[in-house]
Chain A
Amino acid sequence: AQKITQTQPGMFVQEKEAVTLDCTYDTSDPSYGLFWYKQPSSGEMIFLIYQGSYDQQNATEGRYSLNFQKARKSANLVISASQLGDSAMYFCAMREGGSSNSNSGYALNFGKGTSLLVTP
């Protein structure tokens, strides 16, 4: 079963506007971490932001914030004041802790990604 779902294959946003990229997850493990990565066309994977399942506050890192709604199992990425350089693929990923993860050693489960294009 898909553990991470990103329902938006592609998104457009105008420069300087805010954009929300959706991510829902599926786990029965009470301990988990949620991550967002950016992959520009050059191919590298850049870590953006992390949210822990026990964190009370939503994570923020500069222009990136994570809208964490635990009951809904969603972890949407919000990019404020978009820039042309934000055009890239964005991946949501989850790392489970505890006994449910005994076979995968806390590896990341990735969604299929959202392609974001920022227009002038």
Chain B
Amino acid sequence: DSGVTQTPKHLITATGQRVTLRCSPRSGDLSVYWYQQSLDQGLQFLIQYYNGEERAKGNILERFSAQQFPDLHSELNLSSLELGDSALYFCASSVGSLPNQPQHFGDGTRLSIL
């Protein structure tokens, strides 16, 4: 158990819809990262928050947004969903943002768009 909690584990929805994925980081971790894993793109970094503030953006679409709340949990919002958004979405957390700090991953949310 990594200590990172993601809900829901599975999500099935239709094109055009909006969903929210939730992540609770490990106790004491201030950094939260979101990644998308798909068969064609592999594991791609989406966005990072550190102590409530956006720290970095990766390959995140404009239809996607995220935030980190004062209790440090984070939500990833995906809107106007397309078939290509079907993927496994991971949240990871680390104590800080230094290169030597490992990121611990949650079990992921598997999103299926029908």
Instruction: Decide yes or no: A52 and B99 within 8 Å by CB, A104-B45, A105-B55, A105-B56 being known contacts.
Output: yes
- Contact of B102 with A by CB under 8 A: yes
- Contact of A64 with B by CB under 8 A: no
State which of B33, B35, B57, B108 has its C-beta within 8 Å of the C-beta of A103: B57
State which of B50, B88, B102, B110 has its C-beta within 8 Å of the C-beta of A50: B102
> Which of chain A's residues have a CB closer than 8 A to the CB of B101?
33
Main secondary structure of the interface of B (DSSP, over half): strand
Residue of B nearest to A29 (CB): B99
B100 touches A104 (CB 8 A): no
B98 touches A97 (CB 8 A): yes
State which of A31, A43, A44, A46 has its C-beta within 8 Å of the C-beta of B99: A31
- Contact of B107 with A by CB under 8 A: yes
Residue of B nearest to A35 (CB): B102
* Binary contact track A97-111/B, C-beta < 8 Å → 1, others 0: 100010111111111
The complex places the Cα of A52 from the Cα of B99 at a distance, in Å, of 8
* Binary contact track B89-107/A, C-beta < 8 Å → 1, others 0: 0101000011111111111
The complex places the Cα of A108 from the Cα of B108 at a distance, in Å, of 16
A107 touches B2 (CB 8 A): no
User: What is the interface residue range for chain A against chain B?
Assistant: 20 to 34
Q: Within residues 30 to 59 of chain B, which ones have a CB less than 8 A from any CB in chain A?
A: 33, 35, 42-43, 45, 48, 50, 55-58
Instruction: Decide yes or no: A107 and B110 within 8 Å by CB, A31-B99, A47-B105 being known contacts.
Output: no
State which of A47, A104, A110 has its C-beta within 8 Å of the C-beta of B104: A47
Q: Which of A32, A44, A111 has the most CB of B within 10 A?
A: A44
B105 touches A97 (CB 8 A): no
The complex places the Cα of A32 from the Cα of B57 at a distance, in Å, of 19
Report A's interface with B, CB cutoff 8 A: 31-33, 35, 37, 43-47, 50, 52-53, 91, 93, 95-97, 101, 103-113
Report B's interface with A, CB cutoff 8 A: 2, 33, 35, 42-43, 45, 48, 50, 55-58, 88, 90, 92, 97-108, 110
Mind listing 9 A-B residue pairs with CB under 8 Å? A44-B2, A44-B106, A45-B90, A45-B105, A52-B99, A53-B99, A91-B43, A93-B43, A97-B99
